[in-house]
Amino acid sequence: MRKSARQRCHAALAGLVTLATTAVLSVTTGTPAFAADTWNEVGSDRADPLTESQGLASVEVPAGSPNRYTGIGTIPASVSARGWNHVGDPDASYDGHYVEPYQSDSGGAKMFRVQAPGGAWSEYVHKLSAGEALNNSFAAVTPSGTWMLSGEYGTMSRLLVFPTPGVNPATSPSADLPRVSTVALDHAVRDVQGCDFVTATRLLCSSDDPAGTLFGMTRPLLQIDLSGEPNGSADVSGHVTALRPLPLRSSCSGTFEAEGIDYDRRSATLRVIVVSPGFCTLTDSKTYRFTRS
């Protein structure tokens, strides 16, 4: 995720990228590895490159809460000044706790910033365990609210399980947030930018995989079916299926980037951010909306 919105916005604003006047592009590679394709595109909204380019979350409590987005422009100055200069794809528990994942350019920790339903913010730092990547791509809170998944960038065969900060009573801002278990995937995934729970044992994830060698398509929408609900006492397994390529349409040619994902259970709507290439990062990046057929 380090190569995404900040670099593209800066390049565009500096005039280093030339606007291509080609027709709208739709870029995919290869043949889907799996036939399932039940999520149909129903619309899109422009994604602001500064404030809506990394992730998004629907918040159910309090009622009428607006959807939340993250981008380089949403990071408070007081947070970035302490080195937490990248925010990933957020999520919210069903009781209204909102969780943003942060990482820094160096160091041995990652951070989750939590806003309670009453509005107060707190920070929970996790010290990296042996072999754990620095990346903190997303937070995905289980429907029960007690546990949370997070992901690392690159080619991975696992997701990480934490007690949900601010929700699980075992967590405290003054104590290390421990990694308590793992989701072992039966198929490697690459550059997962976000995941969200659809049910207690099913996740949908957005992958920014540019190669297409794992599933026969670039930047796929993935489904992960778990052997059980994640918890702090035992690992669970996850069966990975590639459902469809994400839309890649822009007035500019170049490299797209799939970003965060959200499933809003109130409307049964799936939303995924796709950042456009080059100068079009500023003009036609999109949050795509899908419904299940």
Residue scoring higher pLDDT (174 or 12): 174
Q: What pTM does this model have? A: 0.88
Query: Beta 91-92 vs 98-103: how paired, if at all?
Result: antiparallel
Q: What DSSP string runs through 253-280?
A: -S--EEEEEEEETTTTEEEEEEEPSGGG
Cα 213–Cα 216–Cα 217 angle in degrees, nearest 5: 100
Report d(CA 272, CA 262) in Å as an integer.
Answer: 7
CATH architecture under which domain 5-292 falls: 6 Propeller (2.120)
126: three-class secondary structure by DSSP: strand
Mean pLDDT within 8-31: 35
- Tokens coding 199: 């049910």
pLDDT per position as a tens digit, 104-137: 998 899 999 999 999 999 999 999 999 999 999 9
Query: Beta 202-207 vs 39-46: how paired, if at all?
Result: unpaired
290: three-class secondary structure by DSSP: strand
Percent of the chain with pLDDT over 70: 87
Whether 19 has a pLDDT exceeding 90, the answer reads: no
pLDDT-derived band at 1, boundaries 50, 70, 90: low
Cβ atoms within 10 Å, residue 54 = 33
Q: Measuring CA to CA, which residue among 216, 215, 214, 286 is closest to residue 250? A: 286
Residue type, 118: G
